[in-house]
Chains A and B, each alone.
Chain A
Amino acid sequence: MVTTVKTEEYIIAEEPYYLPAGIEIQTFEAAYLNQIPVLLKGPTGCGKTRFMQYMAWRLRRPLITVSCHDDLTASDLVGRYLVQGGETVWVDGPLTRAVTVGGFCYLDEVVEARKDTTVVIHPLADDRRILPIEKKGEVLTAPPQFLLAISYNPGYQSVLKDLKQSTRQRFLAIEFSYPDRKFETAIVIHESGVDEPTAGRLVSFAEKTRNLKDRGLAEGASTRLLIHAAKLVVSGIDLRNACRTAVNLPLTDDREMSEALSELMQSVF
Chain B
Amino acid sequence: MSSDRQYTGHFRKDFIRNLRLDFFDEEEIRALLAELDSLDPAIRQQTFALCHSLSHASSSLVPNTLRRIQRASRSLSPKDLGRWIGHAYDLLDHHGIGPFLSFISRIDEETLRDFTTHRGLRLQEVAPVLETFLQGISGRELRIVQDTESHTDTVSVYLPAVVDRYVKRSRNYSIFKFMVSHQWAQLTCGTLTPDEAVLRRFLREETPGEADIASLFSQFGERSFAIDLYTVLEGIRLEAFLVRELPGLMREIPDIKKDIMALRPTPLGSSLKETVVEGLLHVYLNGDTDSTTPEVIAAFSDETRDLKDAPDAGASLRLLHLFYEAATRQNGGYVARKIPLLGTIRPDEVSLQMKAERRARRQMIKGMITRLMTMTELRPREMPHRKQADIRRAPDPLREYLLIKGRAIELDRELKKVLEERGCIPGGIIVHGSDLGGSVSPLSLQELVEDEEEIPGRTEGGMQYDEWDYKRGGYKTKWCSLHEKTIHPGHEPFVEQTRSRYSGYISILRKKFELLKREPRIVRRQKEGDDIDLDATVEAFTDLRAGLSPRDDLFTRYDRQERDIAVLFLLDMSGSTKGWICEAEKEALVLMAEALESLGDRYAIFGFSGMTRNRCDYYRIKGFEEAYAETVKRRISGIMPKDYTRMGPPIRHSVHILKSIEARTKLLITLSDGRPEDYDAYRGAYAMEDTRKALTEAKEQGVHPFCVTIDREARSYLRHMYGEANYIIIDDVRQLPGRITDIYRRLTV
Q: List residues of A whose CB falls within 8 A of some B CB.
A: 71, 80-83, 87-88, 135, 157-160, 162, 201, 204, 208-209, 211-212, 214-216, 240, 256-257, 259-261, 263-269
Contacts and interface: CB of A to CB of B under 8 A. Distances in A.
A204 B245 CA distance: 8
Interface stretch (B214-222, B416-424, B538-546): B538-546
Given A81-B542, A266-B249, A212 B704 contact: no
- The 6 tightest CB contacts between A and B, nearest first, are A260-B132, A81-B542, A267-B249, A159-B704, A88-B542, A211-B139
Given A201-B247, A260-B133, A158 B542 contact: no
Contacts of B133: 260, 263-264, 267
17 contacts: A80-B539, A81-B542, A157-B726, A158-B746, A159-B704, A159-B747, A208-B136, A212-B132, A212-B135, A214-B728, A256-B128, A259-B129, A260-B133, A261-B136, A266-B249, A267-B177, A267-B249
A95 to B, nearest CB: 18
B665 A159 contact: yes
Given A159-B747, A266-B248, A268-B248, A83 B135 contact: no
B694 to A, nearest CB: 17
Nearest to B522: A71
Given A82-B538, A256-B129, A267-B249, A159 B135 contact: no
Given A214-B729, A266-B248, 16 more contacts: A81-B539, A81-B542, A81-B543, A87-B545, A88-B546, A159-B667, A159-B747, A160-B748, A201-B247, A211-B135, A211-B138, A214-B728, A260-B128, A263-B130, A264-B137, A268-B247
Contacts of A162: 704
A257 B130 CA distance: 10
Contacts of A269: 247-248
Given A216-B132, A259-B129, A267-B181, A160 B248 contact: no
B246 interface: yes
Contact of A157 (B128, B247, B747): B747
A204 B706 CA distance: 32
A113 to B, nearest CB: 15
A115 to B, nearest CB: 11
Nearest to A207: B139
A162 B719 CA distance: 19
Which of A88, A240, A265, A268 has the most chain B CB atoms closer than 10 A to its own CB?
A88
A58 B132 CA distance: 43
Nearest to A208: B136
Nearest to A220: B136
B466 to A, nearest CB: 22
Nearest to A255: B129
Given A88-B546, A159-B704, A263 B129 contact: yes
A160 B176 CA distance: 44
B749 interface: yes
A88 B749 CA distance: 39
Interface string B541-553: 1110110100000
Interface in B656-715: 665, 667, 704, 706
Given A211-B138, A263-B129, A268-B248, A81 B704 contact: no
A87 B138 CA distance: 67
A150 B90 CA distance: 72
A22 to B, nearest CB: 22
A162 to B, nearest CB: 8
B247 A215 contact: no
Nearest to A258: B129
B136 A212 contact: yes
Contacts of A82: 538, 542
B523 to A, nearest CB: 10
Chain A contact residues, majority secondary structure:
mixed
B749 A158 contact: yes
Interface string B124-159: 000011101101111100000000000000000000
Chain B contact residues, majority secondary structure:
helix
B473 to A, nearest CB: 22
Contacts of B542: 80-83, 88
A265 to B, nearest CB: 7
A208 B139 CA distance: 7
A265 B133 CA distance: 10
A137 to B, nearest CB: 9
A268 B246 contact: yes
Interface in B154-210: 177, 181
A260 B136 contact: yes
B177 A263 contact: yes
Contacts of B719: 214
Which of B136, B726, B728 has the most chain A CB atoms closer than 10 A to its own CB?
B136
A88 B545 contact: yes
B137 A160 contact: no
Given A83-B542, A269-B248, A264 B726 contact: no
A86 to B, nearest CB: 8
Contacts of B248: 240, 265-269
Contacts of A80: 535, 539, 542
A83 B249 contact: no
B135 A215 contact: yes
A159 B129 contact: no
Contacts of A83: 538, 541-542, 545
Contacts of A201: 247
Interface string B527-564: 00000000100110111011010000000000000000
A265 B130 CA distance: 13
Nearest to A262: B129
Contact of A81 (B135, B245, B546): B546
B129 A260 contact: yes
B358 to A, nearest CB: 27
Interface in B450-485: none
B659 to A, nearest CB: 16
Nearest to A204: B245
Contacts of B665: 159-160
Nearest to A83: B542
Contacts of A264: 133, 136-137
A215 B120 CA distance: 29
A158 B748 contact: yes
A62 to B, nearest CB: 27
A211 B137 CA distance: 7
B413 to A, nearest CB: 31
Contacts of A261: 136
A58 to B, nearest CB: 33
Nearest to B666: A159
A268 B546 CA distance: 66
B746 A157 contact: yes
Contacts of B128: 256, 260
B136 A209 contact: yes
A256 B726 contact: no
Contacts of A160: 665, 748-749
Nearest to B704: A159
Interface string B715-749: 00001000000101100000000000000001111
A211 B715 CA distance: 13
